[in-house]
Amino acid sequence: MSRNSTRLAFFRQSGWMVIAAVVGGALMYAVHKAASRMAKEEYGVFATMLQMLTLMTIPAIGLQTVVMRQTVAATTDPLRRQLSQAVRRLLQGTGLIWLVGLLAVGIWQGRLVESFKASNPATIWLTAAWGLWVFWLPIYVGILQGQQNFLWMGWVSILGGATRLAAIIVFVVWLGMQAAGACLGVLVQVALAGILAGWLTRRVWMSPGEAVAWGDWRKRVIPLTLGPGVITYMMSLDMIVVQYFFPEILTGYYAAAGTIGRALVFLTAPMTQVMFPKVAESLARSEKSNAALLALGATALIGGGAALFCTVLPSLPLRIIYDPSYLRIAWLVPWFAWCMAPLTLGSVLVNNLLARERYRMVGWLVVIALGYAAALIVVCQRQSSPLLAAGSLADGPALVAGLSRDARPAAVHLRSRLSAETARLLSGSHTGRSLPPELEQALLADLNGVISGPCFFEERRFAGVNLSSVLREFIARNQRASAWPAVNRLLLEEVFPAAFKPLNDRFLPVVQTLGLFGLVLVAVSLGFTLRRRPAESATREKALLPTPVPE
């Protein structure tokens, strides 16, 4: 096949996969418009469960890639029979692992409900139920990818998005089932997608089989799981850690910005899906391939364009998907888009190395992922506290003026909560654009006492304060004492909006941590890509599936 025709085939197939990703992604993101009807804290729980779904796919990523490679190599009847036998064993084994996982959920149900701040234990159980299809669907899709059946790969994506949207409209919008209903809708979607993909590949996994030597499989499964798994892990971990550490009243906003940012990864993923089997096939045939270069260029173009769009019009994606109350997080959308961009390029570089069986970089990727997790936990621990600290005041003099002269009942109540020493310092004259350090420390200490105490909201006390409906509704619903400090901090912001830096600003270091480690990942994978290696043998690579062995 000529170089031009190969390039044309790549862009035709990747073009269809991009179309399928855009259509399927649009349907998936329309899900969030329906899901945003939930309370903010419920939406935060649902968004966290979606990232748990993504993390659950990590063990299956290697299986999909290995099955894809084995499907490419299954060019003879014995090899095809071994593939059939191997796929059946994988389906059985992953099903058993899923049952063990269900048992673990039963044992730690209470701890999981508390950690994820779920109001309904069914949310946790429905998420666990996704696991079976999370294991099986990648195996089926790996067969389709190895067959380069991109047509049906695309349709599985599109139909999956349509199914998820329809199910969540029924369970959340019509029946008002909150996060548990949204998780039920996702279960319907992954199950139907798995059934469709299984039916499309039935001739492979239902055919007669032969015994398989599993040594070669194990040798490849570990690096092919860990390599792409690092990308998935870094893309998803932040939402889970944020949900654990940050107050639930805020996590829905972070989830909204993250949903927009993560769209970049899903939008560019088709390039990698098309590239991998082509690079693997060219390696097996000892042929040169420019698929990786084409995928890298297209990914940079699409990802960079999308990030630039989010920078110029950060509020537009939020307006399309969410109600106006989410616009307060629009400032974080450009940060999320640009910090996700390195992961899109890293995904292409990592998968190109894996397709060429250059596995030495996998250990470095694991180190990067572990470093990212440690840094993320430290950052979230430091940033999640609602207490005031040095630098929390946006306008100290405005706070002093409000506490000194504001006649609204809420301001009068806060003035009554100040210590005698703070009141004395407050009565002095203050000039300039900043407060004396002694006064600032005293104010922060007294207001932190207010924040740490019980909720100080009373309807009559907040007469004259333009209290947001989101905060008011959360106060009416909340049953968790641990949520009151964040509520009190937000009430302070509502009383004196110019005085405090918004608590939402604490999310910025979290996103910056992701961007920093994404750049490290790109640098490491690019270094391995450019490193010289021995010339590839001109002979055809040994078949990936071993020859038959006696029973």
Write the DSSP string, 341-365. HHHHHHHHHHHHHHHTT--TTHHHH
List pLDDT tens digits, range 348-403. 999 889 888 888 999 999 999 999 999 999 999 999 999 999 889 999 989 998 99
Of the pLDDT bands very low, low, confident and very high (cuts 50, 70, 90), residue 544 is very low
State the residue range of the domain holding 466.
Answer: 396-500
Evaluate whether residue 374 is within a structural domain. yes
Token pair in block for residue 233:
């892990």
Q: 271-295 pLDDT, tens per residue?
A: 776 777 677 667 666 777 777 888 8
Q: 328 or 5: whose pLDDT is higher?
A: 328
Residue 458 CA to residue 462 CA, distance in Å, equals 6
Same domain, 370 and 418: no
| Cβ proximity of 238 and 376 under 8 Å | yes
Same domain, 429 and 334: no
Query: 28 and 8, same structural domain?
Result: yes
Same domain, 479 and 367: no
Spatial distance between the Cα atoms of 426 and 297, rounded to a whole number of angstroms: 60
Residue 538 banded pLDDT, cuts 50, 70, 90: very low
The answer to whether residues 301 and 210 belong to one domain is yes
Of 245 and 33, the one with more pLDDT: 245
Q: How many domains does the chain have?
A: 2
Residues 337, 442 share a domain: no
**pLDDT, tens digit (0-9, with 9 covering 90-100), for 226-261:** 888 899 899 999 999 999 999 999 999 999 999 999
Question: CA 445, CA 340: separation in Å to the nearest integer?
Answer: 38
pLDDT of 111: 92
Q: What percent of the chain shows pLDDT beyond 90? A: 54
Above 50 in pLDDT, residue 118? yes
pLDDT over threshold 50, residue 323: yes
Q: Is the pLDDT of residue 19 over 70?
A: yes
The model's pTM is 0.83
Same domain, 234 and 341: yes
Q: Are residues 417 and 521 in the same domain?
A: no
Last residue of a domain, one of 459, 484, 500: 500
**Does the pLDDT of residue 547 top 50, yes or no?**
no
Q: How far is CA 233 from the centre of its chain?
A: 8
For residue 59, pLDDT over 90 is answered with: no
Distance in angstroms (rounded) separating the CA atoms of residues 123 and 130: 11
The predicted pLDDT at position 13 comes to: 74
Pair (484, 373) in one structural domain = no
pLDDT of residue 100: 94
Rounded mean pLDDT of 36-48? 90
Asked if residues 290 and 278 have their Cβ atoms less than 8 Å apart, the reply is no
Together in a domain, 84 and 45: yes
